[in-house]
Amino acid sequence: MNQSLANKTLEEIFSESLFSTPAVSIRVEDTLAEAATLLPHHLETLTDSLVAVSDDKPVGIVGGIEVLDGIINNHTPSFLDKTRIGDVMSSKKLVITNQKSKFSDIVKQWCQTRRAFAIIPNQYHGYSVISARKILDVGILFKINTTIAAVPRKKIITFHKEETVGQIIKRMFDNKTRKLILEGTDFFISDRIIIQKLVREFNCLRDGRNFLETSAGNFSLEQAKRISDDLTISDACKIMQDMRSPYLIDDEKTISPWDIVSVLAFENLS
């Protein structure tokens, strides 16, 4: 008898690999500058966000959204150094789950928080991470012949090289996306690329330059993988798992790991 993936528990889906990805933490008293330095190594990887801790207990999360929101609203040279994690973390978006939770339950929570990130207590008295990228494993473990055509069409959000960082960040927030496609190409800019530039070349705004006025043409972009809509979900997951920044594109839409999650939630698997 087929059982909907939505009704399977995390333990049933992942087995021993459920706890394979440790959470990366940052203290509430640390600064946003320290978070910005850590994030380029973890955004779009298996961990994605940083877990804010107080007395070794998780109390919130910090990701690219919090850093970019802070930069665009408070772009003074000392802002990142003076802002504490506890003042900007998202406590309501911290999802703590357990191995008996159903896949559908975690997807529902992610839909509410709009953040595909959760932590789960592990046997080492710490926490492991479940993110949209880890969910790609499901598409690889299970043979899913549903095609990418099942992902709803959506407008491809673009930018031009002449635009500024400030304009790009604003468009990301306006369209609830972490990536924008360069007009007429398959190349994209992301929150990770922006934060990496901020950390490496602008020294977290300490040099006094106006980061928001930086031209998009100064950024090294990444390339989305162009696909056809007859590609299966399983094959799409395999492609995305091998990409540093998983992102697919066809003529009508872009596809991120989050889009795969939303399709898998309704799949019937044996």
Residues above pLDDT 70, as percent of the chain: 94
**CA distances to 135, 140, 238, 264 from 149, in Å:** 19, 18, 17, 13
Matching residue, tokens 């598409």: 139
pLDDT at residue number 250: 92
Whole-number Å distance between alpha carbons of 2 and 16: 23
Note the CATH architecture for domain 148-269. Roll (3.10)
Each residue's pLDDT tens digit, 82-104: 899 999 999 988 999 999 999 88
Per residue in 22-72, pLDDT tens? 899 999 999 999 998 888 877 666 567 899 999 999 999 999 889 899 888
Q: pLDDT averaged over the chain?
A: 88
What is the average pLDDT across 214-218?
92
pLDDT at position 270 is 44
Q: Are 144 and 232 in contact (CB under 8 A)?
A: yes
- Do 33 and 81 form a contact (C-beta atoms < 8 A)? yes
> How many other CB atoms sit within 10 Å of the CB of residue 55?
7
- Structure confidence by residue, pLDDT tens digits, 119-133: 999 988 899 999 888
Q: How far is CA 89 from CA 51, 97, 129, 267, in A?
A: 9, 19, 17, 34
Q: Domain coordinates of the chain in residue numbers?
A: 3-141, 148-269
Mode of pairing for the β-strands spanning 127-131 and 225-226: unpaired
DSSP assignment of 161-204 equals TTSBHHHHHHHHHHTT-SEEEETTSSEEEEHHHHHHHHHHTSGG
Q: Sorting pLDDT into bands at 50, 70 and 90, what band is 175? A: very high
> Which residues lie closer than 8 Å to 177 by C-beta, 6 or more apart?
157
Confidence of residue 269 (pLDDT cuts 50, 70, 90): low
Report which of 192, 177, 181, 161 is spatially closest to residue 67, judged by C-alpha positions.
192
Strand partners, 54: 57
The CATH superfamily of 3-141 is CBS-domain (3.10.580.10)
Average pLDDT over residues 175-195: 94
Domains 3-141 and 148-269 equal at CATH topology level: yes
The b-or-e profile of 138-158 (16+ CB within 10 A means b, else e) is bbeebebebbbeebeeeebbe
CA 42 from chain center: how many Å? 9
Identify the DSSP state of 246. Answer: -
> Which value, in Å, is the radius of gyration of the alpha carbons in the chain?
19
